[in-house]
């Protein structure tokens, strides 16, 4: 079996998306395309969960950088941390916007 075999070809669209199990809602009718944390997910739900994970990671990063800034008197270090915090906050805003788009698109899909 080739190591780079894609999940999509393995499932061939036959296994249904299992997002309902994770969300505790009704079953998703779309075919599964990939596995994520052990569940078969459709393309839309995979994207949504990836965005949620990224959003949480960026939120944690912003909090950590803020805590680090408060914990040091070193000006250069504070400036460096501030720039990284700004960058993380900007990426967080983009991720949140993409996530809202995704939810919106799903509502009409």
Answer yes or no whether residue 48 interacts with Zn ion by CB under 5 A.
Answer: no
28 lines the binding site for Zn ion (CB under 5 A): yes
Contacts of 52 (CB under 8 A, 6+ apart): 99
Task: State the Cα angle at 44 between 106 and 46, rounded to 5°.
Answer: 135
Considering the complex, state which of residue 34 and residue 68 has its C-beta at the smaller distance from Zn ion.
34
Give the integer Cα–Cα distance in Å for 38 and 80.
38
Q: Is 51 in the site for Zn ion (CB under 5 A)?
A: no
Q: Distance between CA 11 and CA 30 in Å, rounded?
A: 12
Matching residue, tokens 């990671």: 57
Chosen residue from 33, 36, 40, 45 binding Zn ion by CB under 5 A: 45
From 34-42, 69-77, 78-86, 95-103, give the range in contact with Zn ion by CB under 5 A: 34-42
47 binds Zn ion (CB under 5 A): no
Tokens standing for residue 82: 């501030």
Q: Which of 16, 22, 30, 96 binds Zn ion (CB under 5 A)?
A: 30
Task: Answer yes or no whether residue 40 interacts with Zn ion by CB under 5 A.
Answer: no
Which residues here bind Zn ion, judged by CB under 5 A? 17, 19, 28, 30, 42, 45
């Amino acid at each position: 079996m080739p190591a780079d075999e894609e999940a999509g070809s393995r499932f061939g669209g036959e296994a249904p998306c299992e997002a309902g199990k994770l969300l505790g809602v009704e079953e998703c009718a779309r075919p599964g395309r990939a596995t994520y944390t052990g569940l078969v997910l459709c393309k839309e739900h995979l994207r949504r969960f990836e965005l949620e994970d990224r959003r949480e990671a960026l939120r944690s990063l912003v909090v950590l950088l803020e805590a680090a800034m408060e914990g040091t008197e070193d000006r250069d270090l504070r400036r460096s941390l501030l720039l990284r915090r700004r960058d993380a906050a900007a990426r967080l805003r983009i991720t949140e916007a993409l996530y809202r788009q995704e939810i919106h698109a799903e509502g009409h899909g």
